[in-house]
Amino acid sequence: MSEQGTNPHPGMNLGYDGGEKAAEVTIFGFWTFLMSDLVTFGLVFAVFGTMTGATAGGPGPEEVTDLRSIAIQTALLLGSSFAFSWASLSMKYHGGRLHMLGFLALAATSALGFLIFELIDLLHLVEIGAVPQRSGYLSALWALVCLHGLHVAGGLLWMGGMTLQILLFGLTDQIKSRVTRMGLYWHFLDIVWVGIFSMVYLAGVA
Neighbours of 41 (CB within 10 A): 20
**Residue 50, in any domain of the structure:** no
CA distance 75 to 84: 14
**Size (the chain), residues:** 206
pTM (two decimals): 0.86
**Domains held by the chain: number:** 1
Q: What is the SS3 assignment for 33?
A: helix
**What is the residue-level pLDDT of the chain in tens, covering all 206 positions?**
444 445 444 544 444 445 566 667 888 899 999 999 999 999 999 999 999 999 999 999 999 999 999 999 999 999 999 999 999 999 888 757 888 999 999 999 999 999 999 999 999 999 999 999 999 999 999 999 999 999 999 999 999 999 999 999 988 989 999 999 999 999 999 999 999 999 999 987 76
**Residue 156, in any domain of the structure:** yes
User: What CATH number has the domain bearing residue 168?
Assistant: 1.20.120.80
In angstroms, the Cα distances linking 94 to 79, 89, 100, 173 are 21, 8, 9, 15
**Residue 197, in any domain of the structure:** yes
**Residue 52, in any domain of the structure:** no
Closest to 191 measured CA to CA, from 42, 33, 89, 27: 42
